[in-house]
């Protein structure tokens, strides 16, 4: 049963018109947001992979998409842009340090995007941006101490302490690569027994296939098989829940968040995820403040909405210019 979701694409509210990009390993999402914060022209195109020219190719694509928006929506003039990318990202310096399946190293994206498009740019990590979107407009809104965890192909999180994002040079929030079992399966990061290697949607699919010999399309299919009595699926699903619960309990002990918001593909499982997870977390904790476990509200465009919110922040110095032109 699905936990009901709110309107997945909330308005940003009143402010500058901005253009936003969420560059993923496979696809690039883009959209224009008008002065009332409504999303226009959402598009999804393959991310260009061109070896050492990848950064240049991405900037070219951003320029092309922006030109298309100018033609399609002549009344909406973006005063700033927002860009989010995966991997290790130093928000403060505006640099993409590296990403697993994209070939950049220390790419100064914020400056490059700003020079290329001629508008100021906000730049951040995709999951941190999704966290900002949940914190400002979604399920994390009521909380000052809150962690937004995104469980999909991988697992990452966005930490807010006293209402502010905790970034630590881009290294904070990598909960997917915290070890939950030193004897566990190897992880793509090179370590062994990371949460991501057991608890991610990607790991659920991989482990089910390896143990049963049967390919499945997604973690939801493994869940369905578990619910209809497939014992291999039950084991894989259950060990994923155990792993996630252990990480949540560690977060509760260290950060004591009021709530942990869970989004990404796996959260679509709704009560089938949240009910057993709450029970497991409860059993692991003693005196700790028990975090509320709540589903994300913004849905799959949270990273893009976060990019747009970052662009709005950058636009503050430019609104006067926009009004003069
Ligand atoms: Zn890892």
Q: Could you give the C-alpha distances from 202 to 34, 75, 199, 240, in angstroms and in order?
A: 36, 42, 8, 11
Structural domain boundaries in the chain: 18-130+301-324, 142-296
Contacts of 190 (CB under 8 A, 6+ apart): none
Q: Would the pLDDT of 317 be above 80? A: no
Percent of the chain with pLDDT over 90: 89
> Ligand 1 centroid to 154 CA: how many Å?
9
The one-character DSSP state at 183 is T
> Ligand 1 centroid to 185 CA: how many Å?
10
Average pLDDT over residues 62-81: 97
> Ligand 1 centroid to 155 CA: how many Å?
10
> Ligand 1 centroid to 197 CA: how many Å?
7
pLDDT tens per residue, range 128-185: 999 999 999 999 999 999 999 999 989 999 999 999 999 999 999 999 999 999 999 9
Q: Would the pLDDT of 101 be above 90? A: no
Q: Which residue has the tokens 């009344």?
A: 75
Q: Could you give the C-alpha distances from 193 to 173, 182, 186, 189, in angstroms and in order?
A: 17, 5, 6, 10
Q: What is the pLDDT of residue 318?
A: 60
Q: Would the pLDDT of 4 be above 60? A: no
User: Does domain 142-296 sit in CATH 3.30.420.40?
Assistant: yes
pTM across the whole model:
0.91
Q: What is the pLDDT of residue 246?
A: 97
Query: Range with the lowest mean pLDDT among 112-121, 152-161, 287-296, 312-321?
Result: 312-321
Q: Would the pLDDT of 262 be above 70? A: yes
Q: What is the pLDDT of residue 62?
A: 97
Average pLDDT over residues 99-125: 94
> Ligand 1 centroid to 302 CA: how many Å?
24
Task: Tell me the fold of 18-130+301-324.
Answer: Nucleotidyltransferase; domain 5 (3.30.420)
> Ligand 1 centroid to 45 CA: how many Å?
28
Q: Would the pLDDT of 5 be above 90? A: no
pLDDT tens per residue, range 40-67: 999 999 999 999 999 999 999 999 999 9
> Ligand 1 centroid to 202 CA: how many Å?
13
Tell me the β-bridge partners of 83.
Answer: 21, 123
Average pLDDT over residues 273-287: 97
Q: Do domains 18-130+301-324 and 142-296 have the same CATH topology?
A: yes
| pLDDT tier for residue 322 given thresholds of 50, 70 and 90 | very low
3-class secondary structure, 125:
strand
């Amino acid at each position: 049963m699905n936990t009901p979701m709110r309107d997945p694409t909330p308005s940003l509210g009143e402010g500058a018109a901005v253009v936003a990009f969420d560059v993923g390993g496979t696809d690039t999402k883009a959209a224009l947001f008008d002065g009332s914060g409504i999303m226009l022209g959402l598009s999804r195109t393959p991310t260009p992979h061109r070896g050492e020219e990848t950064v240049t190719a991405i900037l070219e694509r951003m320029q092309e998409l922006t030109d298309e928006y100018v033609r399609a929506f002549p009344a909406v003039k973006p005063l700033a842009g927002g860009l989010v990318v995966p991997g290790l990202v130093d928000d403060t310096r505006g640099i993409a340090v590296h990403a697993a399946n994209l070939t950049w190293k220390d790419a100064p994206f914020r400056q490059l995007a700003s020079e290329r498009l001629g508008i100021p740019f906000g730049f951040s990590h995709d999951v941190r941006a999704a966290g900002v979107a949940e914190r400002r407009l979604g399920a994390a809104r009521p909380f000052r101490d809150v962690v937004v965890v995104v469980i999909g192909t991988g697992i990452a999180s966005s930490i807010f302490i006293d209402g502010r994002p905790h970034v630590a040079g881009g290294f904070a929030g990598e909960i997917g690569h915290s070890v939950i079992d030193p004897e566990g399966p190897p992880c793509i990061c090179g370590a062994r027994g990371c949460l991501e290697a057991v608890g991610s949607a990607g790991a659920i699919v991989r482990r089910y296939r390896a143990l049963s010999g049967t390919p499945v399309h997604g973690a939801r299919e493994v869940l369905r098989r578990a619910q209809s009595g497939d014992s291999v699926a039950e084991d894989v699903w259950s060990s994923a829940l155990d792993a996630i619960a252990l990480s949540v309990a560690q977060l509760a002990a260290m950060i004591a968040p009021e709530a942990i918001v869970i989004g990404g593909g796996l959260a679509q499982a709704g009560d089938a995820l949240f009910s057993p997870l709450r029970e497991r977390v409860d059993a692991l904790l003693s005196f700790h403040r028990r975090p509320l476990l709540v589903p994300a509200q913004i849905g799959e465009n949270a990273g893009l909405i976060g990019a747009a919110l970052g662009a709005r922040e950058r636009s503050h110095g430019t609104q006067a210019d926009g009004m003069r032109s």
